[in-house]
Structure 1
Amino acid sequence: MMKILKYNLLLLTALILVSGCRKLLDLPEEKDYLSGKLNYSNKVFEPVLGRTTVMGTLNADNSTLPMQFEIVNARYGDGKPYDDMFKVHKTWVWTSAYTGKETSLEQINAKRKLEDHPMFEIRSSGQFIMWQSSTDELIDPRPADSSNSVQDMRLFDLKVKNSGGEVLLRDFQIRPWRERPYEPSTDINPFTGAVARDPKDPNNPNKRDYILADIGNIIGTPSDLQLISNADQKDVVVYIRPFTGGNGHSLRFKFLDKDEQVIDPAKFNETKWEQLVHGFNMQKTTTYVQYDVAYPIPLVNISTPYAPNGSQASSYIKYSRRGFGGMKTTAYLGLTYNIFKAGDWEIVFHFRRENPKFQDE
């Protein structure tokens, strides 16, 4: 024990002497290392406005952490400066972990708060982030005609520094897409925001593209054939659209037949409505089923019963009927999706060609 104490005392004395000598000799303090090869694997970013998107992978090349980052010289390709992306707006930031087991909106909102952030900024990690607060009204998206002319190109440089020096990384480019408030968004033209045309007949203004439902074992009437939902035969399609008269944070499920008449949700007799979405205060009527929800959907990228793959919610509706021979058949229709913008939204399943057969044989 005495030997250990003597060793520690000698080590402490040596450290004091070295420190004292540095001061006496006026030696410079040790500096961090900043590599001249520091860079990003990709310098062109294409976020969709209205979504929180993290971008950029920094190759620090063994530079000393932490480093300070500053976006500078934001300009269009013709040299004209821009600042719309850097204006401050409120955005949701999590303060504790969302689990998917919360039992009310109050419990969810107690785990997050609204903070002021520039709509586009860089984190201390060197990652860029475009916050959900960004919108088409606040930030000009890329041109609707899909051009990439010099005067529309958004460029910026990045200043990186630590006590070892400073590096300027030049000519990052950001090309924001206009808002698409939900996914899948195959029914939206990403350049204009208008309804997308049918990809199999793009020159026909009277034909459009749709979101396709995932379906199985649904028999149509009067044909008694299984309905199909794919690029060639779109028997069941989905609309994700806002509705009026909600409370500002609601989600509604509706079903339409081929004549666009509402189908009573009660006909989907095998559906576990309480587990369809992470929502509360369910209202089940003869025309829709509605929930109070927190947006975006899903709230975070973790696996939950409502979002098994983590990145998208999954809602499936089921019903059963007796087929020939009395055998029970379970049919389903559903959607894997995101809704990024808060509001009152409805997910509508539309049987376009034939109505589903609910009756037993």
Structure 2
Amino acid sequence: MKVVKKGTFYLSILFGLASCFSCKSFIPESLDALGDDINYMVKEFTPTLGRKTLYEKAVNVGNSSTLPLEFKIINVRTVEGDPATELTDKFPVKVWKASYTGEEKSLEEIEAKREIEYHSILEIGKNSGDIMFWDFGNSNWIRTQPDSCYVFDVEIANSGGRRYARNLRLKPYKERPYEPSQYNYETGLATRAALTPSQVSNLYGERTGDLIFPSDIDVFVFRHYDNTAATKTLTISVLDSMNNYIDIQKFKITDWKNMLHGFNQRFENKKAVYDVAYPIPLITYPTRYTTADGSRARIALKFNRLGFAGLLQECMLGFDFAIYEEGHWEIQFRFRKETPKFDND
């Protein structure tokens, strides 16, 4: 029988343990999974210049990849293959740093919730993959449809490796500073002279007594470039059938204070004027100043009169709108056929 000395036995165990520990250094660390079911469901992005546009949930991640993933836009180029630096350079944009509620009591309170940051016009959510198109730039230097415009790739990575979503298309539309708009989104040319009111009720012609329909009223939205006031404004005016201004205070029961989220509301030269922050609405969020979905502001000019047989009529002229560019804007209603009757029958 062979006898193994105790010392030799213990030494063998120590060497064995040391070997096991050294073997661990050759075992690879656990890597994240990166599945092949990551796919951008949206292949072509068509934002409108001058508007902040977020494409949420544009990418489908699936269940075979370990989160979080990191997304990065790379190789932004024209369809001819040239670098598109106009989309990757940094530009100043206003970013909310506190929530807008619609209850702000002054322009200063609104602006205190926003600050200037520098961003590329085309960006991506680092961990979400959402595509953001910022509200900066115009069609003087950014390609728009019907041009084929731009192509870009997205790198998707974690510690398990990286994949690429290639040849995603960016085909912006030309800027339309306000909505609704009479300008074609591809050509930028006007397709009609004027817009139509959103709501008209119980308006009767002063001369004939006939009902006035929305098609009898033109709406114009235009910017005043000769206004040098630092505080931006929105003006509302109404013209009769002879293109003379109707004193807007004839719309006596209009809720001037709560109609728009503006401040220092006043009457000047038969018009209503507000100091405002742009865009209008400031965000897509329902408030007392907007439509139900929060996407448009709402003008509702109202007055009461006694009609036939002494019946009380609430008369209203309304327009739902959005303005995306800063400036001194005016929304003007023009009665093409007849001036409305304000006096009682």
Task: Work out whether residues 213 and 236 of structure 1, in 8 Å CA contact, stay in contact via their aligned partners in 2.
Answer: no
- Bigger drift between 277-286 and 169-178 goes to 277-286
Query: Is 1:352 aligned with 2:345?
Result: no
* Aligned position for 1:58: 59
Cα separation, 2, equivalents of 1:106 and 1:80: 43
1:224 is displaced (CA, Å) by 0.9
Task: Work out whether residues 279 and 322 of structure 2, in 8 Å CA contact, stay in contact via their aligned partners in 1.
Answer: yes
Cα separation, 2, equivalents of 1:294 and 1:93: 14
* Aligned position for 1:236: 217
Within the candidate set 96, 99, 103, 2:98 is matched to: 96
Matches within 5 A, 1:291-302: 291-302=274-285
Cα separation, 1, equivalents of 2:75 and 2:40: 18
Task: Work out whether residues 279 and 326 of structure 2, in 8 Å CA contact, stay in contact via their aligned partners in 1.
Answer: yes
Cα separation, 2, equivalents of 1:177 and 1:299: 21
- Amino acid in structure 2 at the alignment position of 1:28: P
- Amino acid in structure 2 at the alignment position of 1:353: K
1:23 is displaced (CA, Å) by 8.7
Task: Work out whether residues 319 and 330 of structure 1, in 8 Å CA contact, stay in contact via their aligned partners in 2.
Answer: yes
Per-residue CA deviation, residues 295-334 of structure 1 (Å, 9 max, x unaligned), is 1111112111001421211121101111122221111011
Task: Work out whether residues 50 and 133 of structure 1, in 8 Å CA contact, stay in contact via their aligned partners in 2.
Answer: yes
**Which residues of structure 2 form unaligned runs of 5+?**
1-19
Cα separation, 1, equivalents of 2:103 and 2:302: 23
Cα separation, 2, equivalents of 1:312 and 1:22: 68
Query: Is 1:191 aligned with 2:175?
Result: no
Task: Work out whether residues 201 and 316 of structure 2, in 8 Å CA contact, stay in contact via their aligned partners in 1.
Answer: yes
CA change 1:287–1:21 in 2 (3 A) is: farther
* Aligned position for 2:209: 224
Task: Work out whether residues 194 and 219 of structure 2, in 8 Å CA contact, stay in contact via their aligned partners in 1.
Answer: no
Per-residue CA deviation, residues 1-30 of structure 1 (Å, 9 max, x unaligned), is xxxxxxxxxxxxxxxxxxx96994442221
1:349 is displaced (CA, Å) by 1.1
- Amino acid in structure 2 at the alignment position of 1:131: W
Which segments of structure 1 move beyond 3 Å, counting only runs of 4 or more?
20-26
Per-residue CA deviation, residues 39-88 of structure 1 (Å, 9 max, x unaligned), is 11111010000000012511011222222222222233333332211221
* Aligned position for 1:16: none
* Aligned position for 1:123: 125
CA change 1:115–1:153 in 2 (3 A) is: closer
Per-residue CA deviation, residues 89-144 of structure 1 (Å, 9 max, x unaligned), is 111111111110000011011111110000111112101111112322342222xx
- Amino acid in structure 2 at the alignment position of 1:358: F
- Amino acid in structure 1 at the alignment position of 2:326: A
* Aligned position for 1:160: 156
* Aligned position for 2:7: none
TM score, norm. by length of structure 2: 0.88
**Which residues of structure 1 form unaligned runs of 5+?**
1-19, 198-207
Which structure has the larger Rg over C-alpha atoms? 2
Partner of 2:87, secondary structure, is helix
Query: Is 1:27 aligned with 2:27?
Result: yes
TM score, norm. by length of structure 1: 0.84
Matches within 5 A, 1:107-186: 107-124=109-126, 125-142=128-145, 146=146, 148=147, 152-185=148-181
Aligned-residue RMSD, C-alpha: 1.9
1:291 is displaced (CA, Å) by 0.8
Within the candidate set 290, 295, 298, 2:273 is matched to: 290
Q: Identity over the aligned pairs, expressed in percent?
A: 36
1:237 is displaced (CA, Å) by 2.1
Task: Work out whether residues 223 and 329 of structure 2, in 8 Å CA contact, stay in contact via their aligned partners in 1.
Answer: yes
Partner of 1:275, secondary structure, is helix
Cα separation, 1, equivalents of 2:231 and 2:184: 26
Cα separation, 1, equivalents of 2:23 and 2:257: 70
Per-residue CA deviation, residues 209-254 of structure 1 (Å, 9 max, x unaligned), is 534342111111212111111xxxx211211110232435111111
1:266 is displaced (CA, Å) by 1.1
Number of residue pairs matched by the alignment: 320
